[in-house]
Amino acid sequence: MPRDLLTVVVAAYNEADSLPLLHPRVAAVLDLLEAQGLEGRILYVDDGSSDGTWSLLQGIAAGDARVGLLRLSRNFGKELALTAGLDRVQEGAALILDADGQDPPELIPDFVRLWRDGFDDVHGTRVVRDGEGWLKRSTAHAFYRLMGRLSRTPIPADTGDFRLLSPRALAALAQLRERHRFMKGLFGWVGFKRTSIGYHREPRVAGSSKFNFWRLWNLALEGITSFSTAPLRLATYLGLVTATVSFLYGAWVITKAMIWSDPVAGWPTMMAVILFLGGIQLIALGLIGEYLGRLYEESKQRPLYLVDVWQPAPGVSSGESRVGGAVHAHRATTAGGEDA
Ligand code: UDP
Ligand code: MG
């Protein structure tokens, strides 16, 4: 029987404080799994960090033959950093873990068990979120509910990126090369056999969250526009309702003028109507613009990310990324994310 292979993919952006705490925990879990006949690897993706993350990672890799390193040419954001990491997992399953210890590595054996039971997508669902304010929790909650209503792609609520993907789920994901990547939605789109594990989301072990409210808001917009065209339909309905009301109002104004011959009057009414209609039109235009802008980004067909350094774990037979295009260790600026 061939040995199972699992690669833990960790995207890290300025995580020099948390990684020294995280790595021993992950390494201990992989040792444990080794005993159960599972070969473990760790792939750290440095998402253009500006602190000591990269040199720290090199130290970790030097001390552990299971560690592979990937450094992007700049900060591309978590979604693309994860994509870059997953693209380089060519064999076996992959498990995505946050660098800050919020997703406890100690749960990995549970994920692996379910994978071995035949599940393709095992995701962690947060039952408790410590260290996050009520505002973040309630907006996150509202967002998942809204997404559930707007999109036909199943996106499980309160599910982050803590998940294990089987080889075929990974291969499927690698075919989705869109530039605007809302990973949670992409995982949902892939489908296959899925299940969730409830877990207690702990506070960060060190450092601070990279996602402020503006970034979360943009992520939410990304999610909605990537997986639903409902807002466009909303513009249609908004227009229909406005047109109907306007027609009735117009009829009333004309009737009034014919019966009581209404001379010049209604300056406030006119201003209100003009401004209201102008506002409605701008909202509809803005909605279209959101989609048009994304279409424009996609049409440029740029690579998703650029790789600065790719240093596979010494034990891995490597070279090719899953999406094609030879990638050599230590070669600077390798284009990643080519279309398959
Ligand atoms: N991250 C990244 N690139 C970024 C921002 C974040 O790779 O531009 C990584 C970060 O290092 C961490 C994970 O994404 O491993 C989650 O980030 P964070 O903990 O800041 O988000 P939160 O848990 O607060 O949602
Ligand atoms: Mg975090």
| 210 CA: nearest ligand 1 atom | 20
Give the rounded percent of residues in the chain with a pLDDT score beyond 70.
89
The per-residue DSSP string of 254-301 comes to HHHHHHH---S--HHHHHHHHHHHHHHHHHHHHHHHHHHHHHHHHHT-
Separation between Cα atoms, residue 306 and residue 239, nearest integer Å: 43
Give the pLDDT band (50/70/90) at residue 3.
low
CA–CA separation, 163 and 26 (whole Å): 15
- Whether the per-residue pLDDT at 92 is higher than 70: the answer is yes
The 10s digit of each residue's pLDDT in 19-57 is 888 999 999 999 888 888 888 899 999 998 998 899 999
- CA of 100, closest atom in ligand 1: 15
pLDDT at 325: 39
Q: By C-alpha distance, which of 162, 154, 90, 158 is closest to 122?
A: 162
47 lines ligand 1 (CB under 6 A): yes
Q: Ligand 2 centroid vs 276 CA: distance in angstroms? A: 42
Using the predicted structure, report yes or no on whether residue 85 has a pLDDT greater than 50.
yes
pLDDT of residue 129: 61
Query: To test the ligand 1 pocket, which listed residue (82, 98, 103) has its Cβ within 8 A of the most ligand atoms?
Result: 98
Alpha helices (H) in 38-118, listed in sequence order: 53-63, 78-87, 108-116
Ligand 1 contact, 11 CB (< 6 A): yes
In this structure, which ligand is nearest to the CA of 12? 1
* Distance of CA 213 from the midpoint of ligand 1 (Å): 13
DSSP secondary structure letters along 121-155: EEEEEEEEETTS-HHHHHHHHHHHHHHHHH-SS--
**pLDDT value at 265 more than 80:** no
**How many whole angstroms separate alpha carbon 73 and alpha carbon 335?**
10
Question: pTM for this one?
Answer: 0.75
Could you tell me if the CB of 162 is within 6 A of ligand 1? no
Q: Whose CA is nearest to atom 23 of ligand 1?
A: 209
Mean pLDDT rounded to a whole number for the chain = 82
Give the residue, 138 or 300, on which the prediction is more confident: 300
Burial of 205 (0-12, 13-18, 19+ CB in 10 A): middle
Residue type for position 98: D
Tokens of 74: 């700049």
**Residue 100 CB–ligand 1 contact under 6 Å:** yes
Q: Is the pLDDT of residue 323 over 70?
A: no
